[in-house]
A and B are shown apart, each in its own frame.
Chain A
Amino acid sequence: MKYILEMKKINKRFGGIQALQDVDFSCFKGEVHALVGENGAGKSTLLKILAGLYQKDSGAISFNGKAVEFKNPQEAQRAGIAMVYQELTLFPDMTVAENIFLNQEPCNRWGLINQSEIKRRVTELITKYNIDLNPDDLVGYLPIAKQQMVEILKILAREPELIIFDEPTSALAKEEVHKLYEIINALKKNEKTIIFISHRFEEVFAIADRITVFKDGKFVATVLTRETNQDMLIRLMVGRPLKDIFPKKLVQATKKIIFEVKNLNVKGKLSDISFQIREGEVLGIAGLQGHGQTELLKALAGILPKDSGDFFIKSKPVSIRNPIDAIQAGIAFVPEDRKTQGLLLNLTVRENIALKSLYLRQILNFILLDKEREFVNRLIKELSIKAHSCEQQTVNLSGGNQQKVVLAKELGIKPRVILFNEPTRGIDVETKQELYYLMRQLANEGSIVIMVSSDLMEIIGMSDKVLVMYEGKISAELTKENISEENIMRGAVGIA
């Protein structure tokens, strides 16, 4: 077999940080190649260089046997390399079809855009890859998972030779993940080469032929998927084995109820939700995407106004009508999409982490800057956030480190209740483990921890109690040995 892509001794520096150091990376034609490593290891940076988005400082790239040098993404695309970005790049006010053919619209002989041709081709793509999308829908109204599929179709419409996916599944639900596997398999049959970045092992093992590991901006190893296993990968990524990803669960819950929701209703979204959490319990909420899990968290966080229902923290009723009430009641909320809901991307790490708890460090509205820096630096250290300094713009952090900034911001209010919506999206295995232990520690210290996740292993591994949601209702409540993949799936399709 012959390499279609060879990258040799690639170097890239950002200010004081050596993001890539003498990195080698190559791909065979027609293979699926996974790139893994801790947050900030340089994965996205390498592939952005390949896609022409960043310029390397030194090194050589050859593609299809020719030395290449891409000054911008258009040049890379012309050569047959396309990238599906970690960030969505769609225009919300345009339709699915318009987005897919943006900038490559087929024209009629008058030079006008041929709308019916666009629609025909998009329909063709949608049926070819068997995706549930309507070409006429406005992208802004689609759920994030669907938007991600549009993003992928947009790339496929250009028929590239080599396709780069940067954490394509982090925003996808299980069904769409499987769809993506199918798409990747179809592409592979057509002799296309695929590189993808992922933090999910099950996915790496499901579709990759080979796996390359990066650590701290350096190449560590390339291995054949069938000759490796999860423990070995973790050892390569982290530098040591990780034992017990999940902390020990509660042996026996106390009798003391510390959180209670009674008859929560939100018209058209949630009906008659009631549940209790005992001291020390971690509550997991599972279900297929779009059955009210996110809405439940939003209602608890005061973001979604409720029609009726009462919340009790330690038996005391709390009235929550808006996010400010929720913060005052000590309720923190880690939203699912860090770019649009969690972060002020253009502002610094310090400003982001401080934002939610400004009221704790002010005198007469004046911010106590010294305290703020101390506070921010402490959280940066506690969560080991990799940033040049607390004054770095958040947009320049690696994806996983951005997620940690969101987390730090929430922990800043010293919450009594923490609502996690997909908390481990895009973060590496070691940080995941740290986060799980942190959740457990918070629960042990008397905080109320509620987690919505589409990752079943995470739900099963972490929760002392699981609520499964179906069509806005709780369809199953599981504890202890009843928490199993099968029981959760039954609840998720409403047959519990």
Chain B
Amino acid sequence: MESKTKNWVSEIFPEIIKSSLLVYLILLLLLIIAEIVSPGFLSFLHLGNVLRQASFLGIVAIGQTFVILTGGIDLSVASIITLTNVVSAQIMNGSNENLLLALVTVIAIGAVVGLANGSGVCFLKIPPLVMTLGVGSVVQGIALVYSKGAPKGYAAPLIRFISNEKIGGLISGAVILWLILGLLTIVVLKYTTFGRNVYALGTNVIAARYAGVNITGVTLCTYVLAGIMSALTGTLLVGYTGTSFLDAGTTYTMNSIAAVVVGGTSIIGGRGGYGGTIAGAIIMTIIGSLLTIVHIPEAGRQIAQGLIILCLVLIYGREKTRG
């Protein structure tokens, strides 16, 4: 076992860099641009803020990476985040004692919604795009009904600490959680039978089925994972803002997909990995914050953001298909 851990550690990091060198270069470039546009961007304080925000997106994007690698897509993550945001705030109601209950509840919610998504895709053969869009709409509706349009409750001190407080001025608890989950994801994708099957499924369903890959099991797992990761983010966001909102999750569907794709994972599945998504999540966060800093109005921000994503994917997509 000893030699194996060493084996992994020495393999994982070069692997991340090698398979997603380009996206890390883009990240570096973006940081330089950010520093030029807004001097002080590269300060410890600011980078800490960027990382803190990226962690929420990064965690959602874990689930999205799994789903997209199998050839699916999850458009319901935004609604799951919103629902779990509202529910967990109400259960916590400002007290650490309720935190565990809140966590268990939202994880269950995430899992159930994911299971619904996966079942629709596997058993009813509904295309993922349609299925998750529909489920997302239902879940958003439930959030509305549950909160009666006016979300109540506020963050428990512990979750507020985890999401907000930066240990050593740079790393928040949420970032540490992201780091741990992210590394686990990379290990699972690369070193487990489950991970291998995810790629197999996304590359060629028929060949995968013939080779004994449990298509239904793997698909269900990825959607459930996506649901749970969204639920985690939903809860962490309560800590970040202190309370809950009915549009807490809105931007996360588009941004998580963008993070995955900018990170070099093929939108049709089978190629890529989480190593790139990490950079993708940071890039998406930086773009968002940069556009806020330079005082572009909301409409302009959205347009600029869309165009930047398209450019990145174009640069990256070109590179990938050539191989």
Contact = CB atoms under 8 A, between A and B. Distances in A.
B203 interface: yes
Q: How large is the interface on A (under 10, 10 to 19, 20 to 34, 35 or more residues)?
A: 20 to 34
Interface string A342-355: 11111100010011
Contacts of B193: 358-359, 362, 365-367
B214 A358 contact: no
Nearest to B211: A356
Interface string B18-54: 0000000000000000000000000000000000000
Interface in A323-345: 323-324, 326-327, 333, 335, 340-345
Given A365-B192, A366-B191, A367-B196, A347 B210 contact: no
A257 interface: no
B3 to A, nearest CB: 9
Contacts of B212: 323-324, 326-327, 356
B153 to A, nearest CB: 38
A344 B194 contact: no
Contact of B199 (A333, A344, A366): A344
Contact of A340 (B197, B206, B211, B214): B206
Contacts of A43: none
A242 B27 CA distance: 59
B196 A341 contact: no
B158 to A, nearest CB: 32
A409 interface: yes
Nearest to A362: B193
A356 B208 CA distance: 9
A390 B196 CA distance: 16
Contact of B207 (A301, A327, A342, A359): A342
Q: How large is the interface on B (under 10, 10 to 19, 20 to 34, 35 or more residues)?
A: 20 to 34
Contacts of B7: 369-370
Interface string A292-305: 00000000010100
A367 B192 contact: yes
A324 B209 CA distance: 9
B214 A324 contact: yes
A323 B271 CA distance: 25
A438 B61 CA distance: 48
A324 B18 CA distance: 35
B253 to A, nearest CB: 27
Contacts of B323: 393
B312 interface: no
Contacts of A365: 192-194
B196 A358 contact: yes
A355 B211 contact: yes
B207 A340 contact: yes
B206 A341 contact: yes
A450 B253 CA distance: 50
Contacts of A359: 193
Nearest to B323: A393
B275 interface: no
A460 B200 CA distance: 37
A344 B199 CA distance: 9
A367 B193 CA distance: 6
Nearest to B214: A324
Contact of B208 (A335, A344, A354, A370): A344
A324 B217 CA distance: 12
A345 B211 contact: no
A347 B192 contact: no
Contact of A303 (B204, B210, B271): B210
Given A358-B193, A365-B194, A367-B193, A323 B209 contact: yes
Contacts of B203: 344-347
Contact of A341 (B192, B210, B214): B210
Q: Which of A333, A340, A345, A367 has the most CB of B within 10 A?
A: A367
Q: Which of B197, B207, B214, B323 has the most CB of A within 10 A?
A: B207
Q: Which of B206, B207, B209, B211 has the most CB of A within 10 A?
A: B211
A471 B193 CA distance: 41
B270 interface: yes
A426 B257 CA distance: 41
Given A358-B193, A359-B193, A365-B194, A347 B270 contact: yes
Interface in B84-121: none
B272 to A, nearest CB: 11
Nearest to A395: B323
B113 to A, nearest CB: 25
Nearest to A396: B323
Contact of B210 (A342, A345, A369): A342
B1 to A, nearest CB: 9
Given A344-B204, A346-B203, A351-B199, A323 B192 contact: no
Interface string B165-195: 0000000000000000000000000011110
B203 to A, nearest CB: 4
Contacts of B200: 344, 347, 351, 355
Contact of B196 (A303, A342, A351): A351
Interface of B: 7, 191-194, 196-197, 199-200, 203-204, 206-214, 270-271, 323
Given A327-B212, A344-B204, 9 more contacts: A303-B210, A340-B204, A340-B207, A346-B203, A355-B208, A366-B193, A367-B196, A369-B7, A393-B323
28 contacts: A303-B209, A323-B209, A323-B210, A323-B212, A324-B212, A327-B212, A335-B210, A340-B204, A341-B206, A342-B207, A343-B204, A344-B270, A345-B203, A347-B199, A347-B203, A347-B270, A351-B200, A354-B196, A356-B211, A358-B193, A358-B196, A362-B192, A366-B191, A366-B192, A367-B191, A367-B193, A367-B196, A409-B211
Among all A-B residue pairs, the 8 with the closest Cβ atoms: A344-B203, A327-B212, A356-B211, A358-B193, A365-B192, A355-B211, A324-B212, A323-B212
